[in-house]
Amino acid sequence: MNFLKKKLFTDTRVLFYFFCSLLLIVFLVVQSRIWFGDYSFSNLQQLKNQITSLEKESTTLLKKNELLEGEKEKFSMGRNAIEGLARSELGLIKPGEIFYQFKEKESIEVIHNKTDESVD
């Protein structure tokens, strides 16, 4: 038996095939990790897509942040800016002022049509 083991491993052809099969197994393990592992090639594309979407989101947030910084500077300039914003956004009316609201012609016609239908 010992003789057979020594003869088997000393034969160069057997050693060559043994090392070739061992290298093939190692190669297949490495390739399987490249294609199907946690950091696989397919996951790389998903990560690239995720990075581009996060970069787009980051640029939109930076633009929004710049706009907010501009508004902050505008409001810190004085009372007139705050009053202008309150008038336009909140409909602020000072005491003694008269507020006029103009409606579009289309909305007035819709109101008249509804009142005409309710009378019938």
pLDDT in tens, 51-72: 999 999 999 999 999 999 988 8
Q: In the prediction, which pLDDT does 20 show?
A: 94
End-to-end CA gap in the chain: 114
Q: How many CB atoms lie within 10 A of CB 40?
A: 14
Q: In the prediction, which pLDDT does 113 show?
A: 66
pTM for the predicted model, two decimal places:
0.41
Residue 61 has which token pair? 């947030």
pLDDT at residue 120 above 80? Answer: no
117 falls in which pLDDT band (50, 70, 90)?
A: low
